[in-house]
Amino acid sequence: MGMGISKSDQHANSPTVYNGENRMLIDFFQNLFMRNLVSKNRRRLLVGGYDLDMSYITNHLLAMSFPFQNIGAIFRNPLSHVKTVLDMKHHGCYKVYNLCIEQSYNSSNFHGRVEVYPFEDKYVPPLSMIKRFCESVYSWLSRDSRNIAVIHCMAGKGRTGLMVCAYLVYCGMTVDEALDLYAEKRTTNIEGKANAVVFYWSKLLSFAKHPFYANAPPQVNLPRSNYRELRRNRLYDMTTNKSVFFSIFELQKLYGDIRVEFYERIVGRLFYTCFNTAFIKSSFLQLKLCDLDKVGLKGWSLCGSDFCLELLFEPVNAV
């Protein structure tokens, strides 16, 4: 008694062979699926046969994720596709603003029209950087009614949303109007700290409006920031205490954007906080754990949910 194997049975277990055209289609849909998965709830743009993670906030502001040239293009926007679409729709009339500190590309990819305003993800940029950014975008868009500004960070969400909303407020929108427009056109996931920065920026702008020219851009004057390490203090045996108080005997004169960082000797940075002296209205500033930036697991375990940071100031004329 034997078993016969037909030709069809032989082919049933053999591997499927795809020709070049089928392989390209499979790769296309796999990459498309991955990009849509990564972009989550961000609005996407279908144009020229490309499905890109980009959105028009206004007719002159375009927000997008990072344009990659390497393997990152599987998950994000392929740079070649972005360039093709921008050249097709806005030939000679676009400038790209890169907010990433962790990634870059050659500006020649976009005909040299690239400006970089780098700051870390989930980090508050200096107000001086927001000022320079808004002034640059305003200047570029004012040159020609056809010009657009293309703004991106890595995901085209948090940092991009902060700077886009800051510019919308710079141009006269209220904070709520700017945030609502960005949520409608791009995504609703803008962190509370970014909202707070836009709010502070709007307060600063309210004092900078030109008294005679309603359509003129605000003339913002900020204190010059230090951009250098002012002082480093070391604390010992802090984990057994419910509170730690230390004084800086050689008082430092602070102005502009200030960043205070806290480190643990072994694990490194625990957290940091940022503020601008323009918004220090009293001698006491209290920051809860939710107000601090980049709090890691070690920071949470050392500090606890009830932790707060208190900073005491003296006016300059008292020093």
Domains with residue ranges and CATH for the chain? 24-220 (3.90.190.10), 227-313 (2.60.40.1110)
pLDDT of residue 32: 47
Per-residue confidence (pLDDT) for residue 309, from 0 to 100: 86
Q: Is 153 one of the catalytic residues?
A: yes
Which uninterrupted H or E stretch holds 46? strand 45-47
Give me the mean pLDDT over the 113-139 stretch.
Answer: 93
Q: What is the pLDDT of residues 206-234, one digit of tens each?
A: 766 654 445 566 777 665 555 555 566 66
Q: Tell me which of 93, 100, 134, 153 is the catalytic residue.
A: 153
d(CA 56, CA 13): 50
- Per DSSP (E only), the strands in 110-188 are 114-116, 148-152
What is the average pLDDT across 49-77?
87
Given a cut of 70, whether residue 24 has pLDDT beyond it is no
3-state secondary structure of 110: helix
pLDDT tens sequence across 90-102? 999 999 999 999 9
Mean pLDDT, residues 143-170? 96
CA distance 36 to 251: 52
pTM: 0.72
Tell me the per-residue pLDDT of 191-200, one tens digit each, with 9 for 90 and over: 667 788 899 8
Say yes or no to pLDDT of 58 above 90. yes
**Eight-class DSSP state of 240:** T
CA torsion sign for 151, 156, 158, 159 is negative
Please give the average per-residue pLDDT across 40-51, as a whole number: 67
* Average pLDDT score over the chain: 78
